[in-house]
Chains A and B, each alone.
Chain A
Amino acid sequence: MVDQTIDGKTGAPKRTSRSLAAAAQRYGVVVALLALILFNIAATPNFLTWQTLNVNLTQVCAIVIVAVGMTLVIAAGGIDLSVGSLMAIAGTLAPLIFTGALFHLPTTAVGIGLAFVLPVIAAAILGLFNGWLVTAFRIQPIVATLVLFIAGRGIAQVMTNGNLQVFKEPAFQVIGLGRIAGIPVQVILMAIIVAAAAFVVRRTLFGRQLLAVGGNPRAARLAGVPARRVTLAVYGISGALAGLAGLVVVARNGASDANLVGLGMELDAIAAVAVGGTLLTGGRAFVVGTLLGAMVIQLVRYTLLANGVPDAAALVVKAGLIILAVWIQQQAKGE
């Protein structure tokens, strides 16, 4: 309605700069990605090779899978700090299962099957536990998920007495090393998850209800949206995806170290979500943006490493990216 804009209640004075900022929020990640690629073509030797693409894609898969779950949690008005620890639990459980260390296996095939399924279920249940803390006790998500952030890695370490598990089990490692038609299985997995999540957010009742809960929880409840159930489910999904990412990582490495699997992943995932343009205040989800955001972060790390800048410096650049992303969001939101 024209009148409304005239009245200035929509904060119209900075209209042009705001719509610019809004565009930056939406497409900034694309621009950043293109800029990084162009820079690398010019500066990094052997950048345009299958080898480079392969390395970067396999590195980014785990981040993307976790970050998709994080996107849903953040869109629903929460945050999940426990994802790294849940990766460690799933990554520790899997070898314990298929080596028969946990319980007796009738056949190896059953062991492999269970090694895929049980760790993901366990992570999902722990995710539901996060959701339960948030909904039943109204604990702030950052505190509620801090519980498993701390305890989760401890649990994983206790399961193996802190020992490194090294294994060679091609049937299990398919998820990290296998290829279908030349494409790494983990990349296919990532693509399916991104596509499914994007569809869920845009087209399904659950997706829209989750955005309503994130956008205005009180209004959503009064409109009959099952806010608790939605919140529970979102944390469950985030947990399951973290578990899956844990499997990918240990399968790729052929080793599972409870101290290292998924370490710092929560921050990478949140960074990917923020850089990808999803509002950290909830109510909006931009799944494809998260995919691109994760790629930007991965490419920044690769660029710096390939050009001889140490990993520690890469962390600083990553932090800078987050600040930039949040700043752009602030601009887009207006005061």
Chain B
Amino acid sequence: MTLVSMRGVTKAFSGVPALIDASLEIEPGEVMALVGQNGAGKSTLIKILTGAYRRDAGTVTLSGREVDFASPGAAQDAGISTIYQEINLVPHRTVAENIFLGREPKRWGMIDIGRMNREAEAALARFGITVDVRTPLSGFNAATRQMVAIARAMAREARLVIMDEATSSLDEREVATLFQTIRTLKAQGVGVLFVSHRLDELYAVCDRVTVMRDGRTIGVHAMNAVSKMDLVTAMLGRALAAAERDLSASHGQGAGAPVVEAAHLAAGRRVRDVSVAVREGEVVALAGLLGSGRTETARLLFGADRPDGGRLTVGGEERQFREPAEAIAAGFGFCSEDRKVEGIIPDMSVVENLTLALMPRLTKAGVIDRAAQRDVAETFIRKLGVKLASPDQKIRELSGGNQQKVLLARWLAMNPKLLIVDEPTRGIDVGAKAEILKLIRDLSGQGLGVLMISSELEEVISLASRVVVLSDGRDVAELSGEAISEHGMMAAMAADAEPRSGHG
């Protein structure tokens, strides 16, 4: 019998339709992919299934019985578990405590710690993970934490596990472990709904794919019968070919004078010995697995953290940045990988977010020249094609892709010499992704030096003129020209990356 069947589901928010006749079917033991651009209705559909929202119309059945969950708790009791992108766990409590949070086994009114630990170990063992469940969760890497979240979900005897961008914070090895887990779930007859922006992952693990666009389900395909191009085209509703080819055009040649040269940077345990240089008009990528020290290196260059050792030369002069403000004054810009935590000021308008770094230059006697501020913002909103209702809108109301454009504009308005972008396309839909990559390429064509960090090898290949491969806090290889290929980078990363335990 079909595990989940959603049919003719509609939902509107204050009159604006979010779902129009959406449908979704999942068989027991099936891994179903759900794809669509930001705003296609994926989250709304999932939230209806998990009881976070109520539907306006349509039917939802679970194992043949019609259901209408009034709350997430009701859906969980019915066997639907959800694992979100931002893992909802308590870092300072132990692994076992996290798995049993809220359902601790009790004896005489006290938590039966021995039993809890034994059962937690057993729950993790089902997925081939052996860790000391008595140690705090914060000591483990993202993949292990993700597994704990899954073990927690499974300890509830789930019949359906929903993974919403569960892989976005994992590196390739960790993703492989997660996939193994999904296959285990599948073998146990559990249905999995898998949402990811990374198309490759869908092919690796999913059986079928449901495509959504503009609040409608527009197709269900067997994974092995649909090409990547078809999938992207279906999601976007237009051919993406042009944008993609644009990106794969020739790599930036004729790089100019060095903008920044870092030699033997070191800080703590994360950065041991990294040397990297960026010249005008070139895109240099820092590649490496999660935890290899990419972000930490970028933060050292930008003055966000202080190095323990190493030399930084900017425009031929040795410098030490104590604060980001000093790096900014030297012509640097930095787009952090975490837009929410380190990028946007959520309650401020788009205009103010865009001009945040520039604001001191738009100020006369302490008072901001608002006309000039608006001019700058409108110019860049137009230039970068930011889609918004009004420049005075709060930035948190924008989609991820548009927020990212505003943050890029924050630096472009400063007319920088070096732009550091950390995972510039994370959590952004395919269409906006291509636009942002094209933008970076164009900027470097105009002489901007770019230091890019990306976990998406395709992005690195299409943009970078040089790649510095990091492993365990050291630069282990530098690739350029023909050597920049998926195989070349993987080989360089793998060469020095010895298998490590759960810690990292």
Q: Do A and B bind?
A: yes
**Contact digits for A1-45, partner B, Cβ 8 Å, 1 yes 0 no:** 111111111101101100000000000000000000000000000
**Given A3-B399, A212-B345, do A16 and B14 touch, yes or no (CB 8 Å)?**
yes
**Given A7-B39, A7-B41, A216-B344, do A222 and B53 touch, yes or no (CB 8 Å)?**
no
Q: Is residue B342 within 8 Å, beta carbon to beta carbon, of the partner chain? A: yes
Q: Is the CB of B18 within 8 A of A6?
A: yes
Interface residues of B in 292-310 (CB under 8 A from A): 302, 304
Number of interface residues of B (CB under 8 A): 52
Q: Bound complex: CA of A1 vs CA of B343, how far in Å?
A: 19
Stretch at the interface among B97-105, B357-365, B439-447: B357-365
Residues of chain A with a CB closer than 8 A to B342's CB: 216, 218-219, 222
Q: Is residue A48 within 8 Å, beta carbon to beta carbon, of the partner chain? A: no
Chain B CB within 10 Å, residue with most, of A1, A204, A206: A1
Q: Bound complex: CA of A122 vs CA of B17, how far in Å?
A: 60
Interface residues of B in 331-371 (CB under 8 A from A): 334, 336, 341-348, 352, 356-357, 359-360, 363, 366-368, 370
Stretch at the interface among B136-144, B321-329, B457-465, B474-482: B321-329
Q: From A3, which residue of chain B is reached at the shortest CB distance? A: B39
Residues of chain B with a CB closer than 8 A to A232's CB: none
Residues of chain A with a CB closer than 8 A to B336's CB: 219, 222
Q: Is residue B108 within 8 Å, beta carbon to beta carbon, of the partner chain? A: no
Chain B CB within 10 Å, residue with most, of A6, A12, A216: A6
Residues of chain B with a CB closer than 8 A to A4's CB: 38-39, 397-399
Q: Is the CB of A211 within 8 A of B324?
A: no
Q: Bound complex: CA of A2 vs CA of B16, how far in Å?
A: 8
Q: Is the CB of B44 within 8 A of A219?
A: no
Q: Is residue A320 within 8 Å, beta carbon to beta carbon, of the partner chain? A: no
**Given A215-B348, A223-B410, A224-B325, do A1 and B43 touch, yes or no (CB 8 Å)?**
no
**Given A6-B17, A205-B359, do A220 and B43 touch, yes or no (CB 8 Å)?**
no
Task: Contacts A6-B44, A219-B345 known; list 9 others, CB within 8 Å.
Answer: A3-B399, A6-B18, A7-B38, A15-B14, A205-B360, A205-B363, A208-B348, A211-B348, A224-B325
Q: Is the CB of A12 within 8 A of B13?
A: yes
Q: Is residue A283 within 8 Å, beta carbon to beta carbon, of the partner chain? A: yes
Q: Is residue A226 within 8 Å, beta carbon to beta carbon, of the partner chain? A: yes
Q: From B366, which residue of chain A is reached at the shortest CB distance? A: A204
Q: Is residue B402 within 8 Å, beta carbon to beta carbon, of the partner chain? A: yes
Residues of chain B with a CB closer than 8 A to A8's CB: 13, 18, 43-44, 47, 53
Q: Bound complex: CA of A33 vs CA of B411, how far in Å?
A: 45
Residues of chain A with a CB closer than 8 A to B344's CB: 216, 219
CB distance from A68 to the nearest CB of B (A): 18
**Given A6-B18, A12-B13, A224-B325, do A208 and B368 touch, yes or no (CB 8 Å)?**
yes
A and B contact pairs by CB, cutoff 8 A, 28 listed: A1-B387, A2-B39, A3-B37, A4-B399, A5-B13, A6-B41, A6-B44, A7-B399, A13-B53, A203-B367, A203-B368, A203-B370, A205-B359, A205-B367, A205-B368, A211-B345, A212-B356, A215-B345, A215-B347, A219-B341, A219-B345, A222-B302, A222-B324, A222-B342, A223-B356, A223-B357, A224-B324, A224-B325
**Contact digits for A84-113, partner B, Cβ 8 Å, 1 yes 0 no:** 000000000000000000000000000000
Q: Bound complex: CA of A12 vs CA of B366, how far in Å?
A: 38
Q: From B343, which residue of chain A is reached at the shortest CB distance? A: A219
Q: Bound complex: CA of A18 vs CA of B244, how far in Å?
A: 41
CB distance from A289 to the nearest CB of B (A): 15
Residues of chain B with a CB closer than 8 A to A3's CB: 37-40, 399
Q: From A215, which residue of chain B is reached at the shortest CB distance? A: B345
Residues of chain B with a CB closer than 8 A to A220's CB: 345, 356
Interface residues of B in 1-33 (CB under 8 A from A): 13-14, 16-18
Which residues of A are in contact with B by a Cβ distance under 8 Å? 1-10, 12-13, 15-16, 203-206, 208-209, 211-212, 215-216, 218-226, 283-284
CB distance from A199 to the nearest CB of B (A): 8
CB distance from A279 to the nearest CB of B (A): 8
Q: Is the CB of A209 within 8 A of B47?
A: no
Closest 3 CB pairs of A and B: A3-B39, A12-B13, A224-B328
Residues of chain B with a CB closer than 8 A to A7's CB: 18, 38-44, 399
Q: Is the CB of A208 within 8 A of B39?
A: no
Q: Bound complex: CA of A212 vs CA of B348, how far in Å?
A: 8
Interface residues of B in 391-415 (CB under 8 A from A): 396-399, 402, 410
Q: Is the CB of A283 within 8 A of B39?
A: no
Q: Bound complex: CA of A1 vs CA of B39, how far in Å?
A: 9
Q: Bound complex: CA of A225 vs CA of B215, how far in Å?
A: 40
Q: From A4, which residue of chain B is reached at the shortest CB distance? A: B399
Q: Is residue B205 within 8 Å, beta carbon to beta carbon, of the partner chain? A: no
Q: Is the CB of B397 within 8 A of A10?
A: yes
Residues of chain B with a CB closer than 8 A to A203's CB: 367-368, 370
**Contact digits for B167-197, partner A, Cβ 8 Å, 1 yes 0 no:** 0000000000000000000000000000000
Q: Bound complex: CA of A6 vs CA of B47, how far in Å?
A: 13
Q: Bound complex: CA of A15 vs CA of B11, how far in Å?
A: 14
Q: Is residue B388 within 8 Å, beta carbon to beta carbon, of the partner chain? A: yes
Residues of chain A with a CB closer than 8 A to B368's CB: 203-205, 208
Residues of chain B with a CB closer than 8 A to A16's CB: 14
